[in-house]
Structures are given as C-alpha cells and as structure tokens.
Structure 1
Amino acid sequence: MLALNLTVPLSLGFTHPEDYLIFIFHILFATSSALLAGSVVIGIVSTRALRSQNRFLFMLNTSISDTLTGCSVFYLGLFDVQEGYPSRNGTFYILPSFLGVNVLTFVFAQFDRYLAVCYPFFYKRHITRGVVFGVCALCWVYTFSILAVQSVVPVASAAQMNAFGVIVLQAIVAVKVLMTIKLYMIARHQLSREAPSSEKESKKESLRIIVFVVICFLALWSPSFINISVKYVTKTGLMFRNEATNVFAIMARFNALSTPALYIWGSPALRAAVWSSVWSKVFKRRKTRLIFEPICVKQCLCCIPNTQSNIIEAYCMTSPLKMHQRFMLFLN
C-alpha cells in the first residue's frame, strides 16, 4: 500500500477549499457504505431464517457488491484515477464493474419476485436455493469474464467491446423499467385479492423493497449512463478530470449506500438481524467499557480494609477491563 501511495498521486491538488471537502466526502462515503452494506452481509449470513429465503440471497449478492464498491472508493475517490480507453492509473474497469453486478442482480431479482407472485406453484417447485445461487454466481462470472477478455485484446477491440456492452446495458435498463412497472401493477392489484396471511405480507414487503431499490438505482445511475451513451454516440458529453470529480460516477456509486439502507428500512426481519448480529454487539461492548471505569471501584473501596483496598486499586490500574469482574469475585 505504501508503494501505491508513492506512485499514484492524490485525486485533488488541495489548492481550493472545496478540494478538502471532496476528499473528506469520499472518505466518509467509503467508510459509511462499506460498514452499512457489510453489516447487511453479516446479518443475512449469520441468520439462518434469512438465508433460507431466495429474496434475501439476492440482497446478499448486491450487498457484497456494495461493500466492495464502498471499499473501492478508497482508491477511486482518493487517488488520481481515470477509467476508460485510454485510462490513467485505472483498474481495467474492475472496481466500477461492481455496479454492473448489481444491475444484473436486480434484473434477476425482479423476475424472481414476478414468478413468486404470479406463478407461486411453479416458483416453489423449480426456483430453489441452488438456482438462485447459480444466478447470483452468473452475475459475477458474466461481468468479470467480459473484463478478462477486454484486458487481453488490443485497445481498439476492447473499446469496441465496451461500446457493445453499453448497448447491452441499454437493453437491460429498458427491461428493468418495464419490470418495475409490471411489479408495481402486481403489487397494486393481484396481492389485494389474496387473503390476509404471512406469505402475503412477505410478498408485499419483497415487492415494495425491490421496486423502491430499482427506482432509486435508476435515478442515481441514469445520469452516468446517459452521459456515457452521449460520449459514444456524439463524441462530446461531459468530461471530468478523474473519478473523484466525476459527479455522475459519484451518483452511481451512491447506490452502494442507498441500497442497503433501503433493505434495512423495508425489511423488519433484516433490520432485527443486522441489529442482533452486528450493531448490538458493538454498542454492548462500548457500554461495557463505560461501566469498567476505575471510579466505580474506587467509590466502593471505603467498604474494604485499607490493606485489601490498596491491592485492589493497584490491580485496577494495571488491568481496568477486568477489574469489575475480579472486584465482584473478591466481594463474594
């Protein structure tokens, strides 16, 4: 990491006050998105009830991608990086392609919800966990196999493949829009005819989450997509100095923070799992450290003979984290 910092310059020259704000923003954004998406990953993996449901497997796949996207901002946002053909200190589109994994995952998740609601018997019989695992793996294999081919062919061929990928992405976005409209109509009409049950509430919750997530994803990612399409078609478009100052790329990467936040907001089960698996332990440890303050023992030393109190106080100064436990054993 030290060699990397010495060879790749920082993204900003720090000649203007806004440079400091942009740099701090990238640090906060990278940390927040990695922690939030990572907590969703831990919450799903550590909860068997969530792992057994297909919709949470899709959430897990996108959350892994969002965690890696947040970590990638530590490089894309802090150092002078320009992805493209030609690139400058680029990563062969590896780091930006984590968002591409999310695009494919959202499409398959939309089809999954459509089959679960409209064809429940077919869904329960054929769409197993193994199928969902295979689909999630396919999103990663397809995305990075294309990158592997682009990295070994000449630059001209790689640029043509990238342009073809943009065209394919246009078709995928069109499918996402149509599926979002279809899922909204399903949620509004078909589910209203079903009898109240826990399965109905689960379907409504999953449809609501996927619709909101996809709408938010398209709203944040569309400006970057439109700008890339304009540059390929007209050779104009907006140009930026690097990835750190690319407003459209920053908006697209913001999905790494908004998507897990919408997951936690829309699913009480996931919210409880994340709290019990991650954040409750963090805050409990913090609370425990606050209880283990030397003053709480010193206030009770008056109840013990002087010789013994001196021994306890000396021990508390050397091992404050264990002093409360040893002190209570001594009293007993």
Structure 2
Amino acid sequence: MSSLNHTISFSVDFTSLGDFFIFIYHTVFATCAALLAGSVVLGILCTRALRQQNRFIFMLNTSISDTLTGFSVYYLGLFDVQEGYPSRNSTFYILPSFLGVNVMTFLFAQFDRYLAVGHPFFYTRFITHWFVIACCVFCWVYTYLILTIQNVLPIAQAVKLSAFGIMTLQIIVVIQVLLTIKLYIIAKHQLGREAPSPERDCKKESLRLIVFVVICFLSLWCPSFVNIMVRYLSNGGLRFRNEATNVFAIMARFNALSTSALYIWGSPALRTAVWSTVWKRVCTPCHIRTTRFMHTLIFLHKSVFCNS
C-alpha cells in the first residue's frame, strides 16, 4: 500500500545562489500578483460606477483569474511540479489554465471595444450588461469543460484534444493580433477626427488600454505557447526541470502582475477606486499606528534623557 504521507519536494535544491533567487522570486511574485490583482477585483466590486461599465467587467474577470494565478504560484513555483505528459505532482493543468481564461476574455474585450467605438448603435442595442457577464462566465465554463474532458479521456485521445486546443488558440491569437491592429487604427485616426469631449476621451482611453494590455499579454505568453506547440508537433522545443525553472512559463505567469499594473496605470477611475476602497483603508491605520509608535518612542527617549 502506498504511503498517504506523500511529500512533495521543493522546486530547487538550494545548492546554489540561483536556487535561492528562484525560490525568493516566486514567493515575492506570488504575493505581489495576488495583492495587486486582488485589489483591482475589490476596487471594481466595491465601486458601483465601475461595475456598471462593460469594460470594467472584463477587467474584473481577468483580475480574478490573475489573483488565482498569483496564489497558484505558491504551488507551481515553490514545489517540484511538472504539468503535461509526463507529469509530476501535476494539477492536471487546472492552475495553468487560468491564463487560458484570460486569453478568451481579452478576445471578447477586444470585440467589445471594437463594437462600442465602431458600431455604437448596434452596441447600445444588443451588447447588454448581462450579455457581457455571460461572456465572462462562458470563458470559465469553456476553458474548464474542455480541461475536464481532456483529463478523463485516455492519454491518446487527450493528446488529440490538446492538439485541437492548440489549433484553436492559434486562431484566437491571429484574431487578437488583427483586432489589436484595427483598434489601434481606430484610436489613432477615427477618434482623432472627432470633436474633443469627455466621451471621446473615455473611448480613446479604453482603446489604448486594451491595445497595450493585449500586446503585453501576447508578448509574454506567446513564447510559452510556441514552445508547447513545437513540442507537440515535433521532438524539438525546450524542456525544463519543472514549472519553477520554466522560463517561458515564468514569462506567461508574469501577466498576472503586469495586466493589473497596466489597468491601474491606464485608468484613472480604476486607480482612484483601488486607492480609496483598498489601499487607503490598509495604509491609513498602519500610518496611524506607526506615527503613534514613533511618538511613544520619542516621548520615552525624552523622559529618559530628562531623568538622566
């Protein structure tokens, strides 16, 4: 009978300075990604004005995924885990698939911005708030339904389904690239001809933000995607000891931090909401306690000095 006390070893051996760096990096990254993306989630959920805008619903969906990705790094980055075939201490791709949710969410978000700016009448009439929420739910259901089917199939059939998934992702990436170019053209030329107004500025901000986010996401995620595709189609491609030392996977997971940072940088409304609903409430009590502590130390120092 196998032992129930199966112990999973750490991702590195701690025999070199590089091992310590990798372990510390994943610890710091997981914490920062979970805190930053989580603050975006809370900022949107706690601000009614943001919840009523479709583009912030897409931001909320990706930020939830990024928060979970941050927490997942505590396992994928700190322990000896290898996803894929063959696997070792695997999560059956449950944790890495958070990035797959983001891929589909960004695709819907790009279509949303294209219709909102290019076809406002159609957008106002048909793209309702609940329709956007349904699209976000679909991203989760589709991603994990395919993953569930893949995990219950025999390995030979699962590999074929995985190949189909890779082909689907190729199509999605091509569409995203074309939409990114189209949105950039709209932001630069079509909106440039409109008279200055708050509505035009809002459209321009939303287009610019989604273009930057998608470009950053694809730049960090595509190397991992290409490497996986090469490994499936041939015996080539780079192989790594585990997920913690997989450079391409590290780049892809970095989106969990960069996406939230770009959201906060590119949207003044979101930046204000995150500060007022999350960080202000956290920082103010800490600042008050620190100030009181410093005043107490100064008072004690003066008392001791005067008595002496």
Would the alpha carbon gap of residues 251 and 299 (structure 1) be closer, same or farther in structure 2, given more than 3 Å must change?
Answer: closer
Hey, what does 1:122 align to over in structure 2? 122
Which runs of 4 or more aligned residues in structure 1 lie more than 4 Å from their structure 2 counterparts after TM superposition?
3-6, 294-300
Distance in structure 1 (CA, Å) of the matches to 2:11 and 2:133: 38
Letter in 2 for 1:177: V
Map 1:93-242 onto structure 2 (within 5 A): 93-242=93-242
Residue identity over aligned pairs, in percent, reads: 67
SS in 1 for 2:103: helix
SS in 1 for 2:196: coil
Tell me how far 1:297 sits from its aligned partner.
10
CA deviation profile, 1:18-41 (whole Å, cap 9, x unmatched): 000000000000000000000000
CA RMSD of aligned residues (A): 1.9
Hey, what does 2:8 align to over in structure 1? 8
Distance in structure 2 (CA, Å) of the matches to 1:17 and 1:108: 43
Q: Does 1:38 align with 2:38?
A: yes
Letter in 2 for 1:248: F
Letter in 2 for 1:195: A
Distance in structure 1 (CA, Å) of the matches to 2:50 and 2:31: 25
CA deviation profile, 1:62-105 (whole Å, cap 9, x unmatched): 00000000100000000000000221110110000000000000
Letter in 1 for 2:14: F
Long gaps (5+) in structure 1 = 301-332
Letter in 2 for 1:237: G
SS in 1 for 2:110: helix
If the length of structure 2 is used for normalisation, what is the TM-score?
Answer: 0.93
Letter in 1 for 2:100: G
Hey, what does 1:273 align to over in structure 2? 273
Tell me how far 1:298 sits from its aligned partner.
9.5
Long gaps (5+) in structure 2 = 301-308
Distance in structure 2 (CA, Å) of the matches to 1:77 and 1:124: 44
Distance in structure 1 (CA, Å) of the matches to 2:297 and 2:229: 67
Distance in structure 2 (CA, Å) of the matches to 1:121 and 1:174: 27
Letter in 1 for 2:240: F
Letter in 1 for 2:257: L
SS in 1 for 2:211: helix
